[in-house]
Amino acid sequence: MQPTITLPRGYGIPKFYVGQRTQQGKIIGIEVLPHDSFLTENCGSGYRYLVMVSRYTKEVKYLESDQITQLSPSEVEAEILEEVDWHLTQLVLLQSELKADLKIQTPFGQVNPPISTTKRTNGSGSRLSKPKKEKVAA
């Protein structure tokens, strides 16, 4: 079952979505400010976005639509690839803790450096490596 969100009448569709990367950070929440609330006096009514400034800190900010700037597709791609590189580095560090060559292969390249060059005895690969295709007689 897919989670659903019900938007109040008269507010329209939010300009940004949860998970979207922006110049200010990643949107991790959306808050509706009703027309008759106390916050409306200071912030205005409509949507307010909870933005995680950096994944390295716990700093978050509440921003309104006009305070947020979208990233270009190439900027989004660069951010995602940087995050993939960070995770691949974490894989290398974990691999070094295991003192084993997991032969991790990804569509973005090989995870270096391998810890050892010895073959694994059971022939199994990492969850990230491509499965070996075997011909089966019909």
pLDDT tens digit sequence for 77-118: 998 888 888 888 888 888 888 887 777 666 666 655 544 444
Q: Where are the domains of the chain?
A: 20-63, 72-102
Neighbours of 51 (CB within 10 A): 22
Closest among 88, 86, 133, 128 to 104, alpha carbons compared? 128
Tell me how far apart the alpha carbons of residues 2 and 5 are, in angstroms, rounded to a whole number: 10
* Sole residue written with tokens 């691999």: 95
**Pair type for strands 105-106 and 60-64:** unpaired
Please tell me the predicted confidence (pLDDT) of residue 90: 86
Give the pLDDT of residue 100: 76
- Round to whole Å and give the CA distance between 61 and 116: 45
